Structure 1
Amino acid sequence: MPADLKKNSKLGKVDLLIIAISILGMVIMAYLTYLKFTSGKSSFCDFGEGVSCSAVNQSVYSTFFGIPVAILGFLYFAAVSGIIFNGVAGAYPLILLMTVASLVFSLYLSYAEVFLLKTVCVLCETSKVLMVLIGGLAFWKTRSVKVKIMTNWLVGAILVGVLGIGLSYFTQKGFTPTKNYDDFARCLTEKGWTEYGTFWCPNCGRQKLMFGDSFQYLEYVECDPRGDNPQTDRCLIRDIEKTPTWIRESEDNSTELERQIGVQSLEKLSELSGCPLPE
């Protein structure tokens, strides 16, 4: 029997299960990577404003020092399958530590989804479930071969994950507002400015982040029928081709007075509307 077949024949059922889970994870991450580099397109897992793979995967929180998190996830799953397939010494405790560090880091991403973006990526969360399964199987195999898991190893893995969270936070904190823009947003609405967008549009997400919680005071029109309170007819009447599109309308919304396409800085919106920014 060839040497490579002998090596493969040593793989147990748990090993094959870990490899299968890893391959599924690689497929998910490959799709999310594709989605990251094809901005402006909707995903099959965009179910509404609160559940959108596109909105999350194309947001500022989906990169780590410019590297898409999906690519890092792909490398994790590829490493796990490679370690098992090649019978690397100490494979199970190594995979367990890798998984602990990755899961700790992923907590920040889940936090960003729920509390900052206010939408959930189903595929992103599915990948974390796969990681939990891999970590659980690795832990079970580690115990079954009677390898002692050193506490300092686990603490080190947790600290690596925490370090990743800290680095992500400091590189992305500039995208979250530090001032209250309630009055500014209300003023824009009073002056007749309306933002037309879609819930999955990455640039719409960036525009929304600029306002933070004050976004609720803007006049916003959802153009995707799957979004919350869609007004597709209004978007068709205004011939919206790209999002976000800012339009200044007459008081009864019957006449378009001015149009700006794309993400607008708060300074530009202030200049266009005459609404003062907070000091």
Structure 2
Amino acid sequence: MSRRRSIPWIYRWSRPIIGVIAVAGAILTAYLTITKLMGGEVSCGVEAAKTGATGCKSVLDSPYATVFGLPLSLLGFLAYISMVTFSLGPLFVKLDNNKRLRKQFEDWTWLLLLAGGTSMAIFSGYLMYILATKLQTLCYYCISSAIFSLFLMGFTIIGREWEETGQIFFIPIIVAMITLVGTLGVYAGVNGPTADSRTPIPVPNTQPQPPNGWNITTTSGGAEIALAKHLTAIGAKEYGTFWCPHCFEQKQLFGKEAFKEIDYIECSPNGKNSDPQACVTAGIKSYPTWEIKGQVFRGTQLPKKLAEVSGYEGSMDFKYTMPVH
């Protein structure tokens, strides 16, 4: 009488484990997507707000956080939902009457899990590289998602007994190459210089100190000063905080001489000449935010854009553009 072979626990529980991890990732990316689309701010914790740690927001507002005009978190949400479907689908779809079809269904979903997990892990790895070398800041949401992706790939590989060992080497290698080439193609425009770049803006690599934050290091040209005076003359306002990297970028675009002419409202209680209540009254949800002729413009704005929306008719010979990463 032959003894029935014992099935390792990881083989029995791998699909539920993968499903739980994917659900956690879907919840995280859904939160980021909804917050982004609603124009709100992600929560980085009470301590982060006190110390001015802006990694979460600065990363999620960076050019790397948008792909084909869509929030990257939305694509991440769709990827996690796909992993949920592939992992838990065979547990709920009853094919007991057709064992051959059920086995095919399980085999195909495992292959999709392997391809999906590998692609997500490689893409997340590239984003971690960008986080460390280009953005040089911390983003706990990004790191969490990268860990989820790594675990998804790991549990997919060890979660079953593969009949053909070559599958767990051949498929990941092919998927990794395709993912890496596609990722580099998508972000080619972000990593390269902008079409109209002239002088890159210095990017801070130190922590901002209250009440002033980073010192403006650029000098203004005549066009920047004229534009700043024009904006103030028509009642335009800029809302920001001393700890906001994008606010600093905006200051650098104008230069220290021109920025003195801007009607700037400090929203952080720890900032110089702050007026948090004015920011609350104006409904400011992100920094910087411009209020020009009754219109609201969120995020760092190029001088050319501010000139167009404000009706400025002076010199357009602006010195600086967005930072080149």
User: What TM-score does the superposition give when structure 2 sets the normalisation length?
Assistant: 0.59
Partner of 1:43: 42
Q: 1:95, 1:138 within 8 Å by CA — same for their partners in 2?
A: yes
Alignment of 1:231-270 (within 5 A): 231=271, 234-236=273-275, 239-240=278-279, 241=282, 242=284, 243-244=287-288, 262=297, 263-267=300-304
Q: Specify whether residues 101 and 181 from structure 1 end up closer, same or farther in structure 2 by C-alpha distance, changes over 3 A only.
A: closer
Residues 1:149 and 2:166 are matched in the alignment: yes
- Give identity over the alignment, percent: 23
- Give unpaired runs (5+ residues) of structure 1: 1-10, 248-259
Amino acid at match of 2:240: G
Rounded to whole Å, the distance in 2 between the matches of 1:18 and 1:235 is 48
Alignment of 1:7-18 (within 5 A): 12-18=12-18
Residues 1:132 and 2:131 are matched in the alignment: no
Which of 211, 219, 232 is matched with 1:186 structurally? Answer: 219
Q: 2:124, 2:145 within 8 Å by CA — same for their partners in 1?
A: no
Q: Specify whether residues 191 and 109 from structure 1 end up closer, same or farther in structure 2 by C-alpha distance, changes over 3 A only.
A: same
Q: Specify whether residues 112 and 223 from structure 1 end up closer, same or farther in structure 2 by C-alpha distance, changes over 3 A only.
A: farther
Kindly state the Cα deviation for residue 24 of structure 1 after the two structures are TM-superposed: 0.8
Rounded to whole Å, the distance in 2 between the matches of 1:72 and 1:54 is 18
Q: 2:239, 2:288 within 8 Å by CA — same for their partners in 1?
A: yes
Kindly state the Cα deviation for residue 137 of structure 1 after the two structures are TM-superposed: 0.9
Rounded to whole Å, the distance in 1 between the matches of 2:277 and 2:316 is 24
Q: Specify whether residues 119 and 153 from structure 1 end up closer, same or farther in structure 2 by C-alpha distance, changes over 3 A only.
A: same
| Stretch moving more, 49-58 or 118-127 | 49-58
Residues 1:172 and 2:190 are matched in the alignment: yes
Q: 1:54, 1:200 within 8 Å by CA — same for their partners in 2?
A: no
Amino acid at match of 2:76: G
- Secondary structure of the residue aligned to 2:219 is helix
Alignment length (residue pairs): 245
Partner of 2:234: none
Residues 1:197 and 2:236 are matched in the alignment: no
Kindly state the Cα deviation for residue 129 of structure 1 after the two structures are TM-superposed: 0.4
Q: 2:125, 2:146 within 8 Å by CA — same for their partners in 1?
A: no
Higher strand share: 1
Kindly state the Cα deviation for residue 79 of structure 1 after the two structures are TM-superposed: 1.4
Rounded to whole Å, the distance in 2 between the matches of 1:111 and 1:222 is 33
| Aligned alpha-carbon RMSD (Å) | 4.3
- Secondary structure of the residue aligned to 2:138 is coil
Higher helix share: 1
Q: 1:101, 1:157 within 8 Å by CA — same for their partners in 2?
A: yes
Amino acid at match of 1:266: P
User: What TM-score does the superposition give when structure 1 sets the normalisation length?
Assistant: 0.67
- Secondary structure of the residue aligned to 1:12 is helix
Q: Specify whether residues 237 and 18 from structure 1 end up closer, same or farther in structure 2 by C-alpha distance, changes over 3 A only.
A: closer
Q: 1:51, 1:122 within 8 Å by CA — same for their partners in 2?
A: no
Q: 1:29, 1:74 within 8 Å by CA — same for their partners in 2?
A: yes
Q: Specify whether residues 222 and 130 from structure 1 end up closer, same or farther in structure 2 by C-alpha distance, changes over 3 A only.
A: farther
| Stretch moving more, 29-38 or 111-120 | 111-120
- Secondary structure of the residue aligned to 2:273 is helix
Rounded to whole Å, the distance in 2 between the matches of 1:78 and 1:102 is 12
Kindly state the Cα deviation for residue 235 of structure 1 after the two structures are TM-superposed: 2.9
Partner of 2:206: none
